[in-house]
Structure 1
Amino acid sequence: MTYELRIENLTVRTADDTVLVSDVSLVCGPSNPICLIGETGSGKSLVMHAIMGSLPDSLSCDGKILHDGTDILPLSPQQRRELWGRKFALLPQEPWLSLDPTMRVGAQVAELYTDLRGIGRKQANQMAADELASVGLAGSFDAYPFELSGGMAQRVSIAMAHAAQSPIMLADEPTKGLDRALCDVVADLLRGEVAAGRTLMVITHDLELAEKVGGTVGVMRKGRLLELGTADQVLRNPSHDYSRELVAALPANWPVRTPARGEKSDEIVVAADSIGKSFGRNTLFSDVDVAIAKGQVTIILGPSGSGKSTLGNILLKLIKPDAGHVSWGDDLPAMKYQKIYQDPPSAFIAGQTLGRAFADLRKLHNIDGARINAMLDQLGLDRGLLARRPDAISGGELQRFAIARSLLLDPVMLFADEATSRLDPVSQKRVIDLLCAQVRDRGLALLLVTHDPDLAEHIADHIIRISDGDHSSLAAKAA
């Protein structure tokens, strides 16, 4: 068998016949991986879930999905599930939602070897430990998912997808939340899957990853496949206007400019004196002093799992430091210190529509409806999405709703934890421009966690660098 995957005229629509993906056709095989890129909400992940057979019940598909010449789209849900792990492996976009919170991560990886491949428990545990070590998680075999950072949870999912050794791997945003070094590790792992003869499809906003995976690149927007060609052709000499806009919006390609600073201010909104934090024997940092002023952009830059989110959570008083003290300026209420979470599903009620969430926000805080609509427009969000639940829109769209909700509360400080990690380059630039405008016009103190040094150098007033090799101190310096 060649394990070729051929999609012909795939269309995905809602129960009320709204078309979300229109007439997509493409082919990938063992020697021809394919990466789908494009803006959040363009339908990339819907294509992947149509292949996997994991679309929500409210959506339906037309067209053909041919696996070695056999159309799998007419198969029953039970028949589709029987292919999971054995023929198709899915690396999900939201790893925390796919990991069992009651099981240690090593056991979850080992389970694939015992259940899918019939390997004994002792050998399966050793193989699972090796898989975790291959993605930089040698010490996390006995950890629970809640003890991991977003990037670490992503790496566990990568290890599980690799362990399945299914002939077809579907990877949805495999480098989301990872630093550049780990992105390179993931790229090497994915190229290894291709070299081993597996068919690979990748959904990604990471254009560097798409270039390293090679093969074919498709550009999607508003449910349509705009451009399809070799990675070199699409990423270096795109033919469609939107493809050119996508490449130009990468932070490395932004024009050199002075950061969007606000009026210089000595008004400190949060100060930390000699703080330190450890988890077990792992010391993240100690004896750290941080002062964040109004109208300034402060960026925490460092590798995955190094303590960036922990530092921000301490400054927001969401967790306590083991040593030192954190103080807020002017005794402001906690509501004025807002956080945008790295994984937006954790910030919304799963069974509640977004419209209900924003209606409650409007009523509780007396926010003008016109102001809500203007904020959604600024973030490029279709108001029709308000009728959906959080699980019915893309991760990038949900992240932008989380950003809108936080900004509508007029915070004096906003802690944005990887706020743009799941956004395509065009959406990322729109969000960063909006946040920098809030810094400039309203004196917002913005604390942003990122793995992207290009982004940091373009917008930061100050950069706090955390080294994965030495957590004993943090160095803050002017950008």
Structure 2
Amino acid sequence: MSGHVRLRDLTVQAADGTPLVAGLSLAAGPGTPLVLLGETGSGKSLVLQAIMGALPPHLRRTGEVVLDGQPLPEGRARRGLWGRRIALLPQEPWLALDPTMRALAQVAEVYRLVRGMPAPRSRAEAEQRLRDLGIEEAARLYPFQLSGGMAQRLALAVLRATDAPLLLADEPTKGLDAARRDEAALRLRDEAGRGRTVIAVTHDIGVARILGGHLAVMLEGRILEQGPSERLLRDPAQDYTRRLIAAEPSQWPTQWRAPSIAPPRPAGEAVVEGRRLGKRFQDRAVLREVDIAVGRGEVVAVLGPSGCGKTTLGDLLLGLLPPSQGEVRRAAGLAPWRFQKLYQDPPSAFAPHQSMRDALRHLGRRHGLAPTLFEGLRDRLRLPPALLDRRPAELSGGELQRFALLRALALDPVFLFADEPTSRLDPITQQEVALLLRGLVSERNLGLLLVTHDAMLAQRMADRVFTIEAARLLPAGRAG
């Protein structure tokens, strides 16, 4: 199997010559994961794309990628290695999955076409992979019917179906709850233990700890420091690495917020309210008898594992889905666009062939918004002007999520449903965005419904925290 890979003076440049990855040299081999850790836009994902030979056409690569002692071929010859010698778990599962194929068929196809297995065995192997990842019930569903976390697990099942010696994982646990995140990271570590070479990109320090191996911290396209993961995370040499570790939600000041177990109604005026809400999909009850209200100037967090109904609840409150029972009431006399959603998967919220500049220009024209409004929000979200002329596929997941947040905030919402708003952000940016959202709730008297897998994030941000268990909404701490 082998899979030794070496990067020699790898450089990726933008069309204007700006270096996005600058002279990077690294090596990885079977048994020891190589983890690239760093903030959004630091060049981590570009390294994986360069290895795959899948960089956007406007970018130029120099340097060598050597696999098992041989420089990888260019163009179609390298694409012929996909799934056979090199396999990639991309950052956005929506972009990796075929929207016209059911989940089981997508995994079985890898066994049949790449591994050469007969159809019955391919199906049996695919069923086992879905069971391994806890999504066997999704076998007959299409990607658009899956939650973000379930789509991520399906993409991981497709990756594991390959027999490639080199596995590349770009934010492999993004969108997963804590238990599933740890499980996915352990499975990747196990793949390394089975003799595969694993190169993983992450901004999640918890994932870096689980993967172990060799850690390289990236900033602005360069390796800032590297070494054994355990040592580097315990005693980093660089101030930036120390800032990354300190920005984990568990390290945030507890005085941010002290939520308590509370009744389902806010103390002040409710901007949106659901009474006895229920929702069924075919024969499955996702939500039952849910009472919830979000008041002006407060943050309500809803926790729960992937697929438990968190996103469905927010969509019901926004009117994006009709309830099977119960009713939703929204504050009267307000334009519909002042009830906004920040999507879990940013690519699904943007036109794929439209630049960010055009997207914001059209939004401004439609609602009469001044360009200075966008500029101010751009500065607060640390989005440099150079990103405006890029299309969604040319942005990192974190950059695209911040543009989605900018667009939502520009419409002066009274209610914002934030569906995993920081799951694509590195710890430093996550903390900055969380502080921004918390501040905007107070400044604008905004009601915020925060859906998250991260219990610590919910504790730090929210006034009231709930969890969904067995289709029912319960105050956090009273689940059971």
Q: Tell whether the structures are fold-level matches, with TM greater than 0.5.
A: yes
- Where on the TM-score scale, by shorter chain, does this alignment land: which range? over 0.9
C-alpha displacement of 1:389: 1.2
Q: 2:364 aligns with which of 362, 365, 390?
A: 362
Q: How many residues align?
A: 472
Task: State TM-score, norm by structure 1.
Answer: 0.96
Q: Hey, what's the Cα distance between the residues in 1 that align with 2:214 and 2:249?
A: 23
2:388 paired residue among 386, 402, 409: 386
| Counterpart residue number, 1:149 | 147
Deviations 1:245-301, CA, capped at 9 Å, x for gaps? 00000000112114299xx86211111111101112221121111111000001111
1:477, distance to aligned residue in structure 2 (A):
5.8
Shift of 1:364: 2.2
Confirm whether residue 313 of structure 1 aligns to residue 315 of structure 2: yes
- C-alpha distance in 1 between matches for 2:123 and 2:222: 44
Q: CA deviation at 1:84?
A: 0.3
Q: Is the 8 A contact 1:5 1:67 kept in 2?
A: yes
Structure 2: distance between partners of 1:344 and 1:418? 11
Give how far 1:478 is off.
9.7
Structure 2 letter corresponding to 1:39: E
What is the CA distance between 1:366 and its match in structure 2? 2.2
CA shift at 1:101, angstroms?
1.1
The corresponding residue for 2:263 is none
Pairing 1:299–2:297 present: no
Partner amino acid, structure 2, of 1:81: R
Residue equivalent to 1:276: 278
Q: Deviations over 1:38-66 (max 9, x none)?
A: 11111100000000111111111111111
Whether contact under 8 Å (2:172, 2:185) holds in the other structure is no
8 Å contact from structure 1 (residues 265, 295) kept in 2: no
Structure 2 match to 1:290: 292
Please give the residue correspondences for 1:101-180 in structure 2 after superposition, counting only pairs within 5 Å.
101-180=99-178
CA distance in 2, matches of 1:86, 1:477: 46
Which deviates further from its counterpart, 394-403 or 139-148? 139-148
Structure-to-structure mapping, 1:396-475, within 5 angstroms: 396-467=398-469, 470-471=470-471, 473-475=472-474
| Matched position secondary structure for 1:304 | coil
Q: C-alpha distance in 2, partners of 1:182/1:444?
A: 32
Moved more, 172-181 or 228-237: 228-237
Secondary structure (helix, strand or coil) at the match of 2:408 reads: helix
Counterpart of 1:476 in structure 2 is 475
Matched residues in 2 for 1:345 and 1:96: separation? 8
Alpha-carbon distance between aligned partners in 1 of 2:206 and 2:193, rounded to the nearest angstrom: 19
Post-superposition CA distance 1:407-464 (Å, at most 9, x none): 1110000011111001000010010000000011111101111100111111111112
> 1: distance between equivalents of 2:403 and 2:473?
32
Describe the shift of the 1:463–1:394 C-alpha distance in structure 2 as closer, same or farther (beyond 3 A). same
| CA deviations over 1:328-370 (Å, ceiling 9, x no partner) | 0123221010001111111111111111111222222222222
Moved more, 227-236 or 296-305: 227-236
Paired residues of 2:89 and 2:159 also in contact (CA < 8 A):
yes
One-letter amino acid of the counterpart of residue 133, structure 1: R
- 1:193-204 equivalences under 5 Å are 193-204=191-202
Query: Which whole-Å CA distance do the structure 2 matches of 1:327 and 1:478 have between them?
Result: 27
Residue 412 of structure 1 aligns with an amino acid whose one-letter code is V
Which secondary structure does the structure 1 equivalent of 2:11 belong to? strand
1:102 Cα shift?
A: 1.0
Q: Which residue of 1 aligns with 2:49?
A: 49
- TM-score, normalised to structure 2, is 0.96
Structure 1 unmatched ranges of 5 or more: none
Which residue of 1 is the match for residue 25 of structure 2?
25
Q: Secondary structure at the match of 1:7?
A: strand
Q: Is the 8 A contact 2:258 2:459 kept in 1?
A: no
Q: Tell me the residue number matched to 2:11.
A: 11
Deviation per CA, 1:87-142: give whole Å up to 9, x if none.
00101111112111111110110011111111111111011000000000121211
**Aligned 8 A contact 1:353 1:388 in 2:** yes
> Counterpart in 2 of 1:226?
224
CA distance 1:381–1:138, change in 2 (3 Å): same
Equivalent residue runs for 1:257-268 within 5 Å:
257-259=255-257, 266-268=268-270
The CA deviation at 1:37 is 0.9
| Aligned-partner SS, 1:466 | strand
Asked whether the equivalents of residues 260 and 440 of structure 1 are also in contact (C-alpha less than 8 Å), the reply is no
**Equivalent position of 2:241 in the other structure:** 243
1:21-100 counterparts in 2 under 5 A? 21-72=21-72, 75-100=73-98
Residue identity over aligned pairs, in percent, reads 47
- Per-residue CA deviation, residues 18-49 of structure 1 (Å, 9 max, x unaligned), is 21111111111002211111111111000000
Q: Is the Cα contact below 8 Å between 1:462 and 1:478 reproduced in 2?
A: no
Contact 1:265 1:294 (8 Å CA) reproduced: no
The one-letter amino acid of 1:347's match is: A
How many angstroms apart in 2 are the aligned matches of 1:200 and 1:302? 29
How many angstroms apart in 2 are the aligned matches of 1:478 and 1:153?
28
Q: Secondary structure at the match of 2:187?
A: helix
Deviant stretches of 4+, over 4 Å? none
Quote the Cα distance in structure 2 between the aligned partners of 1:107 and 1:318: 29
Q: Distance in 1 between matches of 2:213 and 2:186?
A: 14
